[in-house]
Amino acid sequence: MTDADGPDAALDLDRRTGWPDDLRLLIARYPREVWPTHPNLGELSKFWLGRHDMFRELNGALLSASDQLKAGTVPAEAFRQWFLPRIRFFLQQLEGHHMIEDHEYFPLLTRTEPRLARGFDILENDHEAIHAGLLALQEAGGGLARALTGPPDRIGFAAEAMSDTLSGFLTRLHRHLDDEEDLIIPILLDRGEMALGG
Ligand SMILES: [Fe+2]
Ligand SMILES: [Fe+2]
Torsion of CA 1, 104, 131, 16, to 10 degrees: 50
**Residue 149 and residue 77 in contact, taking contact as beta carbons nearer than 8 Å:** no
- Residue 107 is given by DSSP the state H
Q: Does a structural domain hold residue 11?
A: no
Q: What is the pLDDT of residue 151?
A: 85
Separation of CA 185 and ligand 2 centre (Å): 11
CATH code of residue 73: 1.20.120
Q: How many CA atoms lie within 13 A of 147 on its CB side?
A: 22
**Residue 154 and residue 147 in contact, taking contact as beta carbons nearer than 8 Å:** yes
Q: Does a structural domain hold residue 31?
A: no
Separation of CA 121 and ligand 1 centre (Å): 11
Q: What is the pLDDT of residue 168?
A: 97
**Residue 62 and residue 91 in contact, taking contact as beta carbons nearer than 8 Å:** no
Q: Does a structural domain hold residue 58?
A: yes
Q: What is the domain count for the chain?
A: 1
Q: What is the pLDDT of residue 9?
A: 85
Ligand 1 (ion): residues with CB under 5 Å are 101, 180
Q: Does a structural domain hold residue 74?
A: yes
Residue numbers of the domain that contains 57: 50-196
Q: What is the pLDDT of residue 2?
A: 43
Separation of CA 102 and ligand 2 centre (Å): 10
Could you list the pLDDT tens digit for every one of the 198 residues in the chain? 444 455 578 899 999 999 999 999 999 999 999 999 999 999 999 999 999 999 999 999 999 999 999 999 999 999 999 999 999 999 999 999 999 999 999 999 999 999 999 999 999 999 999 999 999 999 999 999 999 998 888 999 999 999 999 999 999 999 999 999 999 999 999 999 876 664
Q: Does a structural domain hold residue 112?
A: yes
Q: Does a structural domain hold residue 38?
A: no
Separation of CA 20 and ligand 1 centre (Å): 18
Q: Does a structural domain hold residue 139?
A: yes
Q: What is the pLDDT of residue 195?
A: 62
Q: Does a structural domain hold residue 40?
A: no
